[in-house]
């Protein structure tokens, strides 16, 4: 991996994000609004239900940023005619996407923390975390698990010209199956989908660390959640590198990258 290219891509992504105010709405404001709506839906409930509502808003912000990285930035390059020059450089495309992902991971983490602060200080919901020294590292790991999915999907977005449609389709299913808003147990026969999603294990670990006596997806505890999350993340990242290698070779041979 070319770390100089990753750093340059990180810097460019930061500049583009800060220079384009429209992304403040989906990346920053939307998760706060979603948290407020969810809290009103739960009414006077407290305890784990309130935590689920706040956690849902945080995960929404993180996943939204990951989709932005994996989907829109590729389309943005295609619209502006910069994807061909990127492909002609010695740097691999995955290095460029990795730098962008790191920036959006940072924004997603800040977003999630701000949602918790907003819920506590502004809404006064009284969110309490049983094991904060475990909870916040799990929050960070869950964010990286979302980023690993985004990195894998970004390889496929290189091939499609309908990334906005795909992003819209993928946003809510990942959000639901991760267990951030609804317990995985209510998914019935679809619960098995959650087991192959790394963020599901991260969310389960966060809930286990936050709520005393919480019943996790399995009976093996939080360490099993961490192992499964890391294992699935490794599979996603390895798949992303393999996909990028195959896709880059094919599009260089065919020359059909920007063909509509």
Check if the beta carbon of residue 181 is closer than 8 Å to that of residue 52: yes
Domain residue limits, the chain: 3-258
- Tens digit of each residue's pLDDT (9 = 90 or more) over 164-218: 777 777 777 877 888 777 777 777 778 888 889 998 898 888 888 877 777 777 7
Per the model's pLDDT, the better-predicted residue between 80 and 128 turns out to be 80
Question: Looking up tokens 């041979």, which residue turns up?
Answer: 253
Per the model's pLDDT, the better-predicted residue between 64 and 199 turns out to be 199
Beta carbons within 8 Å of 49's beta carbon, 6+ residues apart: 42
Q: Region 23-51: what's the mean pLDDT?
A: 66
Question: Looking up tokens 């959640």, which residue turns up?
Answer: 225
Task: Supply the pLDDT for residue 229.
Answer: 93
Q: Alpha helices, DSSP H only, in the chain?
A: 3-19, 24, 30-42, 48-67, 73-80, 83-88, 93-121, 132-157, 163-177, 191-195, 198-210, 222-254
Is 60 exceeded by the pLDDT of residue 46?
no
Indicate the pLDDT class of residue 253, thresholds 50, 70 and 90: confident
Q: Region 229-234: what's the mean pLDDT?
A: 94
DSSP 29: I
Task: Supply the pLDDT for residue 178.
Answer: 81
State the Cα–Cα distance between residues 100 and 236, nearest whole angstrom.
17
Task: Supply the pLDDT for residue 5.
Answer: 85
State the Cα–Cα distance between residues 93 and 165, nearest whole angstrom.
22
- Tens digit of each residue's pLDDT (9 = 90 or more) over 100-148: 888 877 877 777 777 777 777 766 666 667 787 888 888 888 888 888 8
Burial letters for 144-158: b for 16+ Cβ neighbours within 10 Å, e otherwise? bbbbbbbbbbbbbbb
Is 60 exceeded by the pLDDT of residue 44?
no
CB atoms within 10 A of CB 30: 16
């Amino acid at each position: 991996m070319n770390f100089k290219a990753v750093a340059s891509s990180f810097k460019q992504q930061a500049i583009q994000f800060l220079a384009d105010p429209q992304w403040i709405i989906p990346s920053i404001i939307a998760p706060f609004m979603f948290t407020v709506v969810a809290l009103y839906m739960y009414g006077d409930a407290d305890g784990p239900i309130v935590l689920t509502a706040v956690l849902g808003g945080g995960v929404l912000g993180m996943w939204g940023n990951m989709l932005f990285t994996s989907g829109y930035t590729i389309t943005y390059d295609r619209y502006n005619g910069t994807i061909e020059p990127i492909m002609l450089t010695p740097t691999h495309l995955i290095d460029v996407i990795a730098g962008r992902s790191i920036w959006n991971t940072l924004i997603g983490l800040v977003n999630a923390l701000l949602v918790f602060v907003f819920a506590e200080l502004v809404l006064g919901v009284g969110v309490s975390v049983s094991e904060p020294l475990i909870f916040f590292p799990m929050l960070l790991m869950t964010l990286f698990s979302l980023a690993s999915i985004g990195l894998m999907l970004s390889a496929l977005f290189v091939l499609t010209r309908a990334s906005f449609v795909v992003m819209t389709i993928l946003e809510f299913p990942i959000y639901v199956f991760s267990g951030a808003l609804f317990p995985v147990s209510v998914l019935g026969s679809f619960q098995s989908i959650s087991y192959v999603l790394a963020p599901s294990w991260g969310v389960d670990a966060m809930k286990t660390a936050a709520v005393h006596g919480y019943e996790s997806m399995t009976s093996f505890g939080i360490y099993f959640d961490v192992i499964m999350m890391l294992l699935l993340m490794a599979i996603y990242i390895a798949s992303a590198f393999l996909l990028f290698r195959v896709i880059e070779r094919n599009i260089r041979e065919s020359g059909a990258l920007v063909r509509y």
